[in-house]
């Protein structure tokens, strides 16, 4: 006869210990209790446990310390953290340290509690289900311990109705992770809406997020629902959240606190139930310290924080991603799968990948197009990748100076000049490869598109300078190194472009 699973209950409230003991024994499980950290340590020496339920706050110990002790002494034991609402952030930290899940006091839904206890005994089965969900989403995790821990935390956080902040460099897959969280959540049968806050000016951003009433501004010919209303009962992913202006941040804070907002020009309060996931490639805590992002909003967004490591910190995963993108691109283009030669793989692994997984995906797609044979060799790789085979010292010098193969210098403008150059070069190569001159090409339209893009970039930079100086045009012009007259010229041009 198989030995019944044994649970450890660690809580200074005897009523909680009695509640779980009764519930577990009714289900045919064994239960052992402890009211202090010292008692918990003694029980761990006496018995082996399948699952432990641990209160975060004990008279003589911290629940996180007990979690670490359990994982050190009995790593096979799953840990469920017991917490109050005020300590949810600590409970999320516990999940990132390896806890199976957390429950909040008071315990309202007994059926859900029983389901959680049963799940803790069937971790392998649950892991297989989530692995299948990742495959369906095209979410490649790799073998990096950092990523495995991150995804494990993400799938546990997913079922909680809390905001999630995803941080990571450009191209690391923040939106893919957000979609995975949505797919593992209780809202998976609802929509997932993605929105980039950095793609709009302040005025347009407010209208896009919260909607507007008819006649609220020039061109508002009818009432419009914003993205928040569209995402009611669903999941809303807000990328580049650091781009939101101070005024927009205030409205976002209100939505997070109350679920309420006003449309632009509106008088009737709108009420929504939205699960918010935000993302940024900026150091949001540093922006808070510099008074460039609201501290109260940051703490509202940072209930659960996940940071995706850059690809250069996961070199062993590069080959896994290459294999995935080869199969994906070959299927999309309906061509036989090609393989990289050992030399080409070695070059790919040496590259620093400033554009991360997005850059790697584009590079594999380009290599497939350039390759004429069955094997992708070094000469089939884009020039920025092939540079790794030639002069390593020069490559390091160019990276430090922010130069790309065209000699463009960005390091004096942005911190990651080399990374920006890599992305722009990748975009340029992909653009040239997609243009079919022989099929006809509207050159004038192309020039207009490029000019609009340039004007949009200039308008965005000026708007950022005005935000940093609280609308002071003289100070903003000084920050940008231009005259106030030049600033006003660009502002007027941006206004005309929006009309």
Q: What's this model's pTM, rounded to 2 decimal places?
A: 0.71
**CATH architecture type of domain 145-307:** 3-Layer(aba) Sandwich (3.40)
Confidence (pLDDT) at 402: 43
Confidence (pLDDT) at 498: 66
Compute the distance between CA of residue 499 and CA of residue 459 in angstroms, rounded to an integer. Answer: 14
> What homologous superfamily does CATH list for 6-121?
Response regulator (3.40.50.2300)
Compute the distance between CA of residue 412 and CA of residue 350 in angstroms, rounded to an integer. Answer: 26
Confidence (pLDDT) at 253: 96
Token code pair at residue 78: 């799953």
The strand pair at 304-307 and 164-167 is best described as parallel
Q: What is the CATH number of domain 312-434?
A: 1.10.8.60
Compute the distance between CA of residue 56 and CA of residue 99 in angstroms, rounded to an integer. Answer: 12
Residue 91 · residue 98 · CB < 8 Å: no
pLDDT, tens digit only, all 499 positions of the chain: 457 899 999 999 999 999 999 999 999 999 999 999 999 999 999 999 999 999 999 999 999 999 999 999 999 999 999 987 666 788 888 888 889 998 888 888 889 899 999 989 988 776 776 677 677 766 788 888 888 888 888 988 998 889 999 999 999 999 999 999 999 899 999 999 999 998 888 888 999 999 988 877 777 778 889 999 999 999 999 999 999 999 999 999 999 999 999 998 888 899 999 999 999 999 899 899 889 999 999 999 998 999 999 999 998 899 999 999 999 999 988 888 899 999 999 999 989 898 899 999 999 998 988 888 889 999 999 888 887 554 444 444 444 444 444 444 454 555 555 556 666 777 776 777 677 777 677 777 887 788 888 888 888 888 888 877 777 888 888 888 888 878 887 887 777 776 6
Confidence (pLDDT) at 403: 46
Q: What is the DSSP string of 125-187?
A: HHHHHHHHHHHHHT----S-HHHHHHHHHHHHHTTS---EEEE--TTS-HHHHHHHHHHTSTT
The strand pair at 275-280 and 270-271 is best described as unpaired
Total number of residues shown for the chain: 499
Compute the distance between CA of residue 218 and CA of residue 280 in angstroms, rounded to an integer. Answer: 32
What are 158-204's pLDDT values in tens digits? 988 899 999 999 999 999 999 999 998 999 999 999 999 988 888 88
**How many CA within 13 A on the CB side of residue 123?**
15
Common-topology check for domains 6-121 and 145-307 = yes
Q: What is the 3-state secondary structure (H, E, C) of 230-284?
A: HCCCCEEEEECHHHCCHHHHHHHHHHHHHCEECCECCCCCEECCCEEEEEECCCH
Compute the distance between CA of residue 155 and CA of residue 285 in angstroms, rounded to an integer. Answer: 24
Q: Does 3.60.70.12 match the CATH number of domain 439-498?
A: no
Q: For the chain, how far is it from start to end, CA to CA, in angstroms?
A: 78
Confidence (pLDDT) at 405: 42
Domain ranges of the chain: 6-121, 145-307, 312-434, 439-498
Confidence (pLDDT) at 474: 83
């Amino acid at each position: 006869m198989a030995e019944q699973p044994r649970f450890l209950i660690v809580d200074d409230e005897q009523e909680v210990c009695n509640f779980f003991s009764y519930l577990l024994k009714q289900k045919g499980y064994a239960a052992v209790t402890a009211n202090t950290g010292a008692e918990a340590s003694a029980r761990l020496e006496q018995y082996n446990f399948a699952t432990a339920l641990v209160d975060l706050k004990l008279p003589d110990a911290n629940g996180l310390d007990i979690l670490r002790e359990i994982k050190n002494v009995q790593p096979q034991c799953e840990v469920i953290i017991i917490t109050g609402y005020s300590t949810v952030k600590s409970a999320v930290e516990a999940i990132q340290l390896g806890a199976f899940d957390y429950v909040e006091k008071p315990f309202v839904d007994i059926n859900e509690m029983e389901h959680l206890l049963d799940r803790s005994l069937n971790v392998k089965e649950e892991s297989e289900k989530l692995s299948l969900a990742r495959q369906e989403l095209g979410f490649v995790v790799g073998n990096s311990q950092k990523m495995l821990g991150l995804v494990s935390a993400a799938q546990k956080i997913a079922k909680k109705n809390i905001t999630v902040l995803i941080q990571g460099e450009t191209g690391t897959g923040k939106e893919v992770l957000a979609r995975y969280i949505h797919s593992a959540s209780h809202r998976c049968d609802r929509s997932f809406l993605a929105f980039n806050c950095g793609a709009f000016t302040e005025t347009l951003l407010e209208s896009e997020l919260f909607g507007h009433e008819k006649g609220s501004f020039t061109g508002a010919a009818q009432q419009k629902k914003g993205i928040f209303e569209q995402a009611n009962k669903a999941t809303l992913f807000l990328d580049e959240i650091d781009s939101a202006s101070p005024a927009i941040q205030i409205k976002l804070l209100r939505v997070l606190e109350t679920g309420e907002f006003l449309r632009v020009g509106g008088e009737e309060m709108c009420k929504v139930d939205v699960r918010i996931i935000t993302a940024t490639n900026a150091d949001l805590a540093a922006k808070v310290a510099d008074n460039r992002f609201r501290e109260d909003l940051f703490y509202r967004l940072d209930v659960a924080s996940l940071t995706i490591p850059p690809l250069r910190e996961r070199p062993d995963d590069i080959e896994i991603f290459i294999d995935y993108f080869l199969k994906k691109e070959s299927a999309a283009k309906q061509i036989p799968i090609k393989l990289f030669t050992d030399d080409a793989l070695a070059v790919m692994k040496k590259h620093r990948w400033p554009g991360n997984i997005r850059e790697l995906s584009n590079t594999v797609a380009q290599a497939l197009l350039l390759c004429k044979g069955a094997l992708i060799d070094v000469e089939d790789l884009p020039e920025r990748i092939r540079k790794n085979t030639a002069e390593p010292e020069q490559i390091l010098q160019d990276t430090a100076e922010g130069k790309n193969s065209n000699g463009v210098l960005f390091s004096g403008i942005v911190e990651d000049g080399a990374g920006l150059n890599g992305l722009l070069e990748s975009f340029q190569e992909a653009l040239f490869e997609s243009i079919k001159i022989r099929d006809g090409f509207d050159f004038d339209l192309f020039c207009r598109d490029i000019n609009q893009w340039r004007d949009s970039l200039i308008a965005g930079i000026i708007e950022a300078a005005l935000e940093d100086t609280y609308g002071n045009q003289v100070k903003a012009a000084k920050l940008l190194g231009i005259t106030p007259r030049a600033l006003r010229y660009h502002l007027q041009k941006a206004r005309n472009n929006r009309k």
